[in-house]
């Protein structure tokens, strides 16, 4: 059996008291949780600083928030208090806790300033629900559940529509089920489950491909970006930047339900056709107005329409791009705008729809 440092006698003189193994086990257990949490906190504080700097380039008012995370009230490992502390470090304006099996987290969420949702398992998908005061028990029909949640005054959304990191990939039947949902509906296009620092992975690339497919078929699908954090370490990796007049739950939910947000890991984005903004239908084919800002520099910008890339720009690290151009005649159903920053962080606008 290999000797442990505690008993090896191989230490240089005077170092006996300086190795971590000499700490009491209880203290080491605490450190093994607290240290990584502290490191992630530094990353989140830096991300918040970056957004603050980017705001100087971005003329729109928006609130940053996450509509999907879990605590120890279901399968998360963080307490509600720990999740709240990290959301604050990340500089988020709002954070929902959406535990899986009820609303036992509600009282603690109210105490710590977090907003309350739920995420029961439904037919072929999980079902994200915001703003319902009572536990929702899904049926065997996802479209009926969405309608029923809305009827009761809640806001339904589809989390991780194609699967989640690292290995859950939904079958075609699950993707097909989304074509039956009432129009418009809300869907995560970036989900950060089991990711830290960066949320975007192949399951999100699949969600975006699915989103473009639904949009190109004429469906209105408003996008959300949520961490699905199951630990405080996962908070803040992706968020929705909501164009609401104030940061109060009813105003934020109205804006989200109308698609008035962009989804981001860092870049700030806006898109309009004439005076018609994200989530709305353009009745006239006015000029396209595009905005992108990231204090750490923009690497690539893309305009996507009708399921294909229409145009690409390479800003070479510029922190701000503002463009006005005619809407190409070929565009039929929708147009959206996306960015990658110099360090690979991504952002996506919601679409403007064409009638
Ligand atoms: Zn889920
Ligand atoms: Zn979840």
* Banded pLDDT at 29 (limits 50, 70, 90): confident
If you measure from the C-alpha of residue 79 to the centroid of ligand 1, how many angstroms do you get, rounded to a whole number?
A: 18
In the predicted structure, residue 251 carries a pLDDT above the cut 50: yes
C-alpha of residue 226 to centroid of ligand 1, in Å: 11
- As a whole-number percent, the residues of the chain with pLDDT over 70 amount to 95
Q: Are 105 and 80 in contact (CB under 8 A)?
A: yes
Q: What is the mean pLDDT of residues 307-336?
A: 97
Spacing, Cα 122 to ligand 1 middle (Å): 10
Residue 69's alpha-carbon distances to 66, 126, 139, 261, in angstroms, are 8, 13, 23, 19
Q: What is the distance in A from the centroid of ligand 2 to the CA of 19?
A: 39
Share of the chain above pLDDT 90, in %: 89
Residue 126 CA: which ligand is closest?
1
5 has a pLDDT exceeding 50? no
Q: Cα of 70 to ligand 2 centre, how many Å?
A: 6
Overall average pLDDT of the 110-120 stretch: 98
Query: What is the whole-number distance in angstroms between the Cα of residue 154 and the centre of ligand 2?
Result: 17
Which of 100, 37, 92, 46 has its CA nearest to residue 231? 37
**CB contact at 8 A, 169 and 203:** yes
Question: What's the rounded mean pLDDT across residues 47-55?
Answer: 98
Span 53-77, pLDDT tens digits:
999 999 999 999 999 999 999 999 9
Rounded Cα distance between 228 and 193, Å, is 5
Find the mean pLDDT for residues 123-138: 97
| pLDDT score for 3 | 41
Q: Give the ligand at the shortest distance from the Cα of 158.
A: 1
Rounded distance, CA 158 to CA 125, Å? 7
Q: Contact, 117 vs 261, CB < 8 A?
A: no
Q: Is the pLDDT of residue 93 over 60?
A: yes
Domains, the chain, with CATH or none: 27-266 (3.20.20.140)
Residue among 210, 200, 205 at smallest CA distance from 174: 210
pLDDT greater at residue 285 or residue 157: 157
Report the 10 Å Cβ neighbour count for 55.
15
Instruction: Supply the mean pLDDT for the chain.
Output: 95
Band (pLDDT 50/70/90 cuts) for residue 2 is: very low
């Amino acid at each position: 059996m290999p000797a442990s440092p505690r008993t090896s006698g191989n230490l240089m003189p005077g170092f006996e008291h300086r190795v971590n193994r000499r700490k009491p086990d209880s203290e080491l257990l605490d450190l093994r949780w607290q240290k990584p949490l502290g490191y992630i906190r530094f990353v989140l504080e830096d991300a918040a600083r970056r957004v603050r700097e980017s705001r100087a380039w971005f003329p729109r008012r928006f609130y940053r928030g996450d509509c999907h995370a879990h605590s120890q009230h279901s399968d998360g490992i963080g307490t509600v208090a720990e999740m709240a502390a990290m959301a604050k470090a990340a500089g988020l304006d709002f954070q929902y806790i959406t535990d899986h099996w009820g609303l036992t987290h509600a009282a603690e969420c109210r105490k710590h300033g977090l907003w309350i949702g739920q995420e029961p398992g439904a037919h072929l998908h999980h079902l994200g629900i915001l703003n319902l005061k009572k536990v929702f028990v899904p049926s065997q029909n996802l479209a009926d559940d969405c309608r029923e949640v809305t009827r009761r005054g809640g806001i339904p959304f589809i989390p991780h529509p194609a699967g989640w990191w690292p290995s859950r990939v939904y079958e075609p039947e699950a993707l097909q089920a989304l074509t039956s949902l009432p129009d418009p509906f809300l869907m995560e296009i970036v989900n950060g489950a089991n990711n830290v620092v960066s949320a975007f992975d192949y399951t999100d690339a699949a969600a975006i491909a699915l989103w473009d497919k639904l949009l190109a078929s004429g469906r209105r699908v408003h996008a959300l970006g949520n961490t699905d954090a199951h630990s405080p370490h996962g908070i803040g990796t992706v968020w929705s930047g909501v164009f609401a007049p104030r940061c109060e739950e009813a105003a934020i939910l109205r804006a989200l339900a109308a698609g008035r947000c962009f989804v981001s890991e860092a870049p700030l984005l806006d898109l309009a056709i004439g005076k018609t903004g994200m989530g709305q239908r353009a009745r006239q084919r006015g000029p396209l107005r595009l905005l992108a800002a990231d204090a750490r520099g923009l690497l690539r910008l893309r305009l996507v329409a009708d399921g294909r890339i229409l145009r690409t720009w390479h800003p070479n690290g510029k922190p701000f791009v503002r463009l006005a151009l005619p809407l190409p005649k070929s565009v039929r159903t929708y147009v959206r705008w996306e960015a990658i920053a110099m360090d690979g962080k991504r952002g996506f606008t919601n679409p403007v729809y064409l009638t």
